[in-house]
C-alpha cells in the first residue's frame, strides 16, 4: 500500500539510511579528510560532500520515502501541504537516530588515529563556537534564510511542473551552495538531525547551543512551506504522499 501505514517501516528505513549517509559523508569529510590539507579537499570539498550525500541518496532511496533526510524538510513539506501530519514525528525520530548513529560510527573511526582530539567534531555553533565567531543574531538569520531557500528549492524541484528526474541534482547543488555561504558562520546546519548527532559527541557548549539549530531551521522551513502554498497555487503541486 503506497504511502500507507503498512509501508511506514520501509519509508522510515529509507530515511534512516539517507540521513545516516548525509551525516557520515558530510561531517566525515570535515572530521577526517579536511584535517589533512595535503588531500586538497578544503572548504569547497566539505560543501560538495554534503551536496553529494543528498544527491546520491535522493536517487538511491528517495523514491521510497520522499528523500527528506532532515526534520526541517519533513516539517516544511507538512507546512506546504505536501506531507501527512501523522508521519512527521516518526520521520523526525528516524532521522535523529540515524544522525546519532552516523556520528557514533564517525567517532569510532576518527578516534582510531593516535593523538586525535574530539574538538568541534563538525558540530554547529554561534559566538565563540562559530567558525568565524559570528553573533547569535547573525547565525539565527543565516540558518533561517538558508533553510527557507533550501525548502523553496526542494518544493519547486519536486513539483509536477518541474523537469522530471532532475530534482536530486537541484537539491544537491542547492545544499552545496548553502554550505559554501554559511560554513564560516555556523558550520552550516539547515538540518536539526545533522546538528544533533555531532553535538552529542562534541559536548559542552555545542549541546547547549543545539536549540538554535533546531529553532532556526524549523522556522525557515515552515515559512517556506507557507510561501509555497501561495507561490505554486496548487497548480504544480506534488502528490501529498512520498
In angstroms, the CA 80 to CA 42 distance is: 36
- List b or e across 108-126, with b for residues whose CB sees 16 or more CB atoms inside 10 angstroms: eebeeeeeeeeebbbbbbb
pLDDT at 241: 43
| Residues present in the chain in total | 242
**CATH class of domain segment(s) 5-232:** mainly alpha
pLDDT at 234 over 70: no
Q: 77-125 pLDDT, tens per residue?
A: 999 999 999 999 999 999 999 999 999 999 999 999 888 889 899 999 9
As a three-state string, the secondary structure of 80-129 is: CCCCCHHHHHHHHHHHHHHHHHHHHHHHHHHCCCCCCCCCCCCCCCCHHH
In angstroms, the CA 116 to CA 113 distance is: 6
Q: 35-62 pLDDT, tens per residue?
A: 666 666 788 999 999 999 999 999 999 9
Q: How confident is the model at residue 232 (pLDDT cuts 50, 70, 90)?
A: confident
User: What is the rounded average pLDDT of the residues 122-141?
Assistant: 97
Contact 102, 89 (CB under 8 A): no
pLDDT at 42: 83
As a three-state string, the secondary structure of 8-23 is: HHHHHHHHHHHHHHHH
pLDDT at 163: 77
Contact 213, 189 (CB under 8 A): yes
Domain range list for the chain: 5-232
pLDDT at 167: 93
Q: 148-198 pLDDT, tens per residue?
A: 999 999 999 998 877 788 999 999 999 999 999 999 999 999 999 999 999
Contact 21, 29 (CB under 8 A): no
The separation between the first and the last C-alpha atoms of the chain, rounded to the nearest angstrom, is 12
Residues with Cβ within 8 Å of residue 205, at least 6 apart in sequence: 125, 128, 129
User: What is the rounded average pLDDT of the residues 209-216?
Assistant: 98
pLDDT at 145 over 80: yes
Amino acid at each position: 500500500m503506497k504511502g500507507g501505514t503498512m509501508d511506514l517501516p520501509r519509508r522510515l528505513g529509507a530515511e534512516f539510511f539517507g540521513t545516516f549517509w548525509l551525516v557520515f559523508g558530510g561531517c566525515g569529510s570535515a572530521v577526517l579528510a579536511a584535517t589533512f590539507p595535503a588531500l586538497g579537499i578544503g572548504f569547497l570539498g566539505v560543501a560538495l560532500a554534503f551536496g553529494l550525500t543528498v544527491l546520491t541518496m535522493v536517487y538511491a532511496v528517495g523514491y521510497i520515502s520522499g528523500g527528506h533526510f532532515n526534520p526541517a524538510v519533513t516539517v516544511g513539506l507538512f507546512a506546504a501541504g505536501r506531507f501527512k501530519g501523522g508521519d512527521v514525528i516518526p520521520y523526525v525520530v528516524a532521522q535523529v537516530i540515524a544522525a546519532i548513529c552516523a556520528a557514533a560510527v564517525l567517532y569510532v573511526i576518527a578516534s582510531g588515529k593516535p593523538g586525535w582530539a574530539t574538538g568541534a567534531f563538525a558540530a554547529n555553533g554561534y559566538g565563540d563556537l562559530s567558525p568565524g565567531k559570528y553573533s547569535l543574531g547573525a547565525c539565527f538569520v543565516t540558518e533561517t534564510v538558508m533553510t527557507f531557500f533550501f525548502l523553496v528549492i526542494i518544493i519547486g524541484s519536486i513539483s509536477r511542473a518541474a523537469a522530471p528526474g532532475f530534482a536530486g541534482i537541484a537539491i544537491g547543488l542547492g545544499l552545496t551552495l548553502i554550505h559554501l555561504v554559511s560554513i564560516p558562520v555556523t558550520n552550516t546546519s539547515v538540518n536539526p538531525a545533522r546538528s544533533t548527532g555531532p553535538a552529542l559527541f562534541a559536548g559542552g557548549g555545542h549541546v547547549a547551543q543545539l536549540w538554535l539549530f533546531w529553532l532556526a531551521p524549523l522556522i525557515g522551513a515552515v515559512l517556506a512551506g507557507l510561501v509555497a502554498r501561495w507561490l505554486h497555487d496548487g497548480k504544480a503541486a506534488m502528490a501529498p504522499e512520498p
